Amino acid sequence: MSEAVQTAVAGVTGYAGAELARLLLRHPRLKGKPPVFAGRLDARDAERGGIPLAEIHPELIDSKGSGNLRMQPFSWELLSDLDVKVLFLATPHEQSRAWAPEALDRGLRVIDLSGAWRLNEAANREIYAFEDEGSTRAIKIQSEAVYGMPEIYRAEIANARLVANPGCYSTSVILPLKPLVAAGLIDIDAGIIADAKSGVSGAGKAPTTKTHYMYAADNLSAYGVFAHRHTGELLEQIGVPADAIVFTPHLLPIPRGILSTIYVRFREPQTRASVLHIYKTFFAGSPMVRLHENGLPQILHVARTSYADIGFQLSADGKRGIIVSCLDNLLKGASSQAVQNFNVMHGWDEQEGLE
């Protein structure tokens, strides 16, 4: 086994950051080299040498002393002194936009869980309103960012300096649609409907009126209609025009998990065997995708796992299909996908530390 790689996590305080910390602390390739946790601290916490991980996420306390690790004040000197090689950014988009270029200049490889570098087309990035949009530096960084979906970009990720981790909704829609669109099965002119539902953790840790218990509990609500920031990822990665897909996200009154129900019409009638063959061929060698050969997946089956589950049913005439995709938004939709990318970047088995 090769020498462990020193990693660092910026943004460990969030939900995705907590899952990322848990996975890296238990990763079999990183034994003896826990991640460096760094972030913005107030003066009091900085004076006491940072915040113990046990105070931020008590669930990470274990017999190996992980709870005693501290989130230290972020500085480039800290990362350099501790010989960090890979920086995970579980930070807001604007922060990742600023820190990723600096990290690259300092020779670090970056896996960014935000949307800062996911989108190649300026029109799709407009929703983020980045201050540096169109600058020479931003264009250069964007040109080398690799979309972090191993099932599609495995070879590119292996040599990437900057991996832009996909969005959670995006992952749940791209994975089931990409194989069928690439194979020419879907009638794009007939339109695609992606009806997606996510647990409350998908909205992040900062409380809002819509994630407040009194609003979210016993409720189901649509949001971001025709305006969700993940829509651009669907268009770019699936390869369809904007008027070919309607994507509507909904907020479920559950902590975590995504279920996307996707409605398609085929160019020619299909059989279950023909569609299953496309999926099996496309996902051969992709251990974190599970195909349901019979029945449909459910959130219960993927919650707290690193898998994306895909199942489908066809109409009696084989002209229409309903595809159901499920994943845990904090894992395959965020942190475990980041670790999967980390594994690919180092030539390890994709599923190491994830099963």
Q: In sequence order, what are the residues at sequence separation of 6 or more whose Cβ sits closer than 8 angstroms to the Cβ of residue 117?
A: 96, 97, 100, 141, 142, 145, 162, 164
pLDDT tens across 42-76, in order?
Answer: 888 888 889 999 999 999 999 888 999 999 999 99
Report how far residue 11's alpha carbon sits from residue 87's, in angstroms, rounded to the nearest whole number.
11
What integer best gives the mean pLDDT of the chain?
Answer: 95
Residue 206 has a pLDDT of 81
Residue 94 has a pLDDT of 95
Residue 2 has pLDDT above 70, yes or no: no
pTM score over 0.85? yes
The stretch 187-201 carries a mean pLDDT of 97
Residues with a catalytic annotation lie at 168
Residue 207 has a pLDDT of 80
Picking from 126, 252, 115, 230, the residue whose alpha carbon sits closest to that of residue 173 is: 230
Confidence of residue 239 (pLDDT cuts 50, 70, 90): very high
Q: What percent of the chain has pLDDT over 90?
A: 89
Picking from 253, 258, 264, the residue whose alpha carbon sits closest to that of residue 312 is: 264
pLDDT tens across 147-171, in order?
Answer: 999 999 999 999 999 999 999 999 9
CB 157 within 8 A of CB 341: yes
Q: What is the homologous superfamily of the domain 168-327 according to CATH?
A: Dihydrodipicolinate Reductase; domain 2 (3.30.360.10)
Q: In sequence order, what are the residues at sequence separation of 6 or more whose Cβ sits closer than 8 angstroms to the Cβ of residue 155?
A: none
Picking from 199, 311, 308, 307, the residue whose alpha carbon sits closest to that of residue 262 is: 311
* End-to-end CA gap in the chain: 19
pLDDT tens across 240-290, in order?
Answer: 999 999 999 999 999 999 999 999 999 999 999 999 999 999 999 999 999
If phi over 0 gives left and psi between -120 and 50 gives alpha, with beta otherwise, what is residue 27?
Answer: beta
Report how far residue 55's alpha carbon sits from residue 66's, in angstroms, rounded to the nearest whole number.
11
Strands (E), 171-239: 192-198, 221-222
Report how far residue 9's alpha carbon sits from residue 17's, in angstroms, rounded to the nearest whole number.
8
Residue 1 has pLDDT above 60, yes or no: no
Q: Which residues pair with 252 in a beta bridge?
A: none
Confidence of residue 91 (pLDDT cuts 50, 70, 90): very high
pLDDT tens across 277-332, in order?
Answer: 999 999 999 999 999 999 999 999 999 999 999 999 999 999 999 999 999 999 99
Residue 339 has pLDDT above 80, yes or no: yes
63: number of CA atoms within 13 Å, CB side?
A: 0
Ranges of each domain in the chain: 7-165+334-345, 168-327
Residue 211 has a pLDDT of 87
For domain 7-165+334-345, give the fold.
Rossmann fold (3.40.50)
With both helix axes pointing from N to C terminus, report the angle between 136-144 and 93-105 in degrees, rounded to the nearest 10. 80
Report how far residue 142's alpha carbon sits from residue 154's, in angstroms, rounded to the nearest whole number.
18
If phi over 0 gives left and psi between -120 and 50 gives alpha, with beta otherwise, what is residue 156?
Answer: alpha
Report how far residue 117's alpha carbon sits from residue 167's, in angstroms, rounded to the nearest whole number.
11
Residue 263 has a pLDDT of 98
Identity at 196, one-letter amino acid code: A
